[in-house]
């Protein structure tokens, strides 16, 4: 019986297709493979803030512990500038492979409403990884400022509108927004002086070039103890265990005031979910260790643990919270 060559070719094609499908089906699922192999080379954690501040310090701690847990180098890369936008944009445009991460704070959630023009959108261009911790801030003044309490400060500020000033690590940072919230709730006019990082602001406060600053408790507590600055109040809902003799701002005359700095990790959008889950599990395990919790408590920092979904919701809620504060306070930046 004669067989048409076209029938033979068609049969060969079918056999090839069936073989190809079988071979493809035998391949491992890409995301699973990515998670199993991850990380296979060094991971970069970009810190969009100046070296020496809480973000830099805790980024280096997390990097060291992730290196121990995941058996690969985690490198901290400080890229400060433009209220954290420079470093944040860098990560937004990085490959979504889990090898470039962003150490963020509530600066990024504030910036969503504070800056009308940004080269990225937080919840569009990033995916949540895990929170790290939060810390109260402390309102400190230079020793030569003639105030001993929040009430004294408010009285002095109202007698000299626009004369007093407060330093911050830049527009939109927790230090800036804590000051704007204080101004709004206390009804005072205090000039904002933004710096390119918390270290510059802190140094000028210590040198007496600026009047006051809201700074993280872990960073400023030592200067309070040495008398280089005077602490008027902390910014949490309850007193800081590190500075138990210092009242909260709410206690001291501005009822309902509450502002903290929190830190977390995010990654470029479309990073494989399995890689995100692996990082979330590793970070959650690290910050849940009793020794870590105890050490951070002495510094004034409290660990935060959330699933990826919970942290995503937290970010959305924080964006809405600070949008209201930006609107009420009238905070503005020069873009």
Percent of the chain at pLDDT exceeding 70:
89
Domain match, 202 and 190 both: yes
- Residue ending a domain, among 188, 217, 234, is 234
Predicted confidence band at 170 (pLDDT cuts at 50, 70, 90)? confident
Domain match, 191 and 140 both: yes
CA–CA dist 253, 158 (Å, integer): 14
- Relative to beta strand 74-78, strand 191-194 is unpaired
Give yes or no for a contact between 249 and 182, defined as CB atoms under 8 angstroms apart.
yes
- Residue ending a domain, among 217, 234, 251, is 234
Average pLDDT over residues 212-234: 95
Domain match, 44 and 117 both: yes
Domain match, 143 and 220 both: yes
Instruction: Name the packing angle between helices 174-186 and 308-329 (round to 10°).
Output: 50
pLDDT at 177: 92
More confident residue, 172 or 22: 172
- For residues 283, 104, 173 and 195, what is the CA-based torsion angle, rounded to 10 degrees? 110
Percent of the chain at pLDDT exceeding 90:
77
Residue 244 located in a structural domain: no
Predicted confidence band at 34 (pLDDT cuts at 50, 70, 90)? low
Average pLDDT over residues 70-76: 98
Predicted confidence band at 335 (pLDDT cuts at 50, 70, 90)? low
- Residue ending a domain, among 195, 215, 234, is 234
Domain match, 106 and 144 both: no
CATH number at 125 reads 3.40.190.150
Domain match, 96 and 163 both: no
- For residues 128, 217, 207 and 178, what is the CA-based torsion angle, rounded to 10 degrees? 60
Residue 24 located in a structural domain: no
Residue 100 located in a structural domain: yes
pLDDT at 36: 82
pLDDT at 188: 96
Domain match, 279 and 227 both: no
Residue at token pair 């849940």: 288
Residue 310 located in a structural domain: yes
Give yes or no for a contact between 219 and 58, defined as CB atoms under 8 angstroms apart.
no
Query: What is the pLDDT of the chain when averaged over all its residues?
Result: 89
Domain match, 130 and 146 both: no
More confident residue, 37 or 31: 37
Domain match, 124 and 104 both: yes
CATH number at 195 reads 3.40.190.10
Stated pTM of the model: 0.81
Residue 103 located in a structural domain: yes
- Flag the least confident range among 28-32, 217-221, 231-235: 28-32
pLDDT at 259: 93
> 285-317: per-residue pLDDT in tens?
999 999 999 999 998 899 999 999 999 999 999
pLDDT at 26 over 50: no
Domain match, 228 and 200 both: yes
pLDDT at 17: 40
**Range of 3-7, 25-29, 101-105 with top mean pLDDT:** 101-105
Sign of CA dihedral 140, 143, 147, 153: negative
Total of domains in the chain: 2
Residue 206 located in a structural domain: yes
Average pLDDT over residues 80-104: 95
More confident residue, 27 or 291: 291
pLDDT at 19 over 80: no
pLDDT at 240 over 80: yes
Domain match, 86 and 148 both: no
CA–CA dist 38, 225 (Å, integer): 44
Give yes or no for a contact between 176 and 170, defined as CB atoms under 8 angstroms apart.
yes
pLDDT at 4 over 70: no
Residue 146 lies in domain? 136-234
Domain match, 64 and 203 both: no
CA–CA dist 168, 193 (Å, integer): 6
Residue 213 located in a structural domain: yes
Residue 256 located in a structural domain: no
């Amino acid at each position: 019986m004669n067989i048409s060559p076209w029938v033979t070719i068609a049969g060969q094609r079918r056999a090839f297709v069936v073989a190809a499908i079988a071979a493809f089906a035998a391949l491992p699922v890409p995301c699973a493979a990515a998670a199993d192999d991850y990380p296979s080379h060094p991971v970069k954690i970009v810190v969009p803030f100046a070296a020496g501040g809480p973000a830099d310090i805790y980024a280096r701690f997390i990097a060291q512990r992730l290196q121990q847990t995941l058996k690969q180098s985690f490198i901290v890369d400080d890229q400060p500038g433009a209220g954290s936008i420079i470093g944040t944009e860098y990560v937004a445009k990085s490959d979504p492979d889990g090898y470039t991460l962003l150490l963020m704070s509530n600066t990024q959630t504030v910036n969503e409403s504070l800056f009308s023009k940004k080269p990225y959108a937080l919840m569009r261009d990033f995916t949540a990884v895990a929170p790290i911790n939060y810390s109260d801030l402390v309102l400190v003044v230079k020793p030569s400022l003639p105030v001993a309490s929040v009430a004294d400060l408010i009285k002095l500020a109202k007698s000299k509108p626009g004369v007093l000033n407060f330093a911050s690590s830049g527009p939109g940072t927790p230090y800036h927004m804590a000051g704007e919230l204080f101004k709004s709730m206390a009804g005072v006019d205090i000039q904002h002086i933004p710096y390119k990082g918390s270290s510059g602001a802190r140094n000028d406060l210590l040198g007496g070039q600026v009047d006051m600053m809201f700074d993280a408790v872990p960073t400023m507590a030592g200067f309070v103890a040495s008398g280089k600055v005077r602490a008027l109040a902390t910014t949490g809902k309850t007193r800081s265990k590190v500075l138990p003799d210092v009242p909260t701002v709410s206690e001291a005359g501005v009822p309902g005031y509450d502002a903290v700095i929190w830190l977390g990790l995010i990654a470029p959008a479309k990073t494989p979910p399995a890689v995100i889950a692996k990082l979330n599990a590793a970070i959650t395990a690290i910050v849940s260790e009793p020794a870590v919790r105890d050490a951070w408590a002495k510094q004034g920092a409290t660990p935060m643990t959330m699933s990826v979904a919970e942290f995503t919701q937290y970010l959305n809620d924080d964006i809405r919270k600070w949008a209201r504060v930006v609107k009420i306070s009238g905070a503005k930046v020069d873009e």
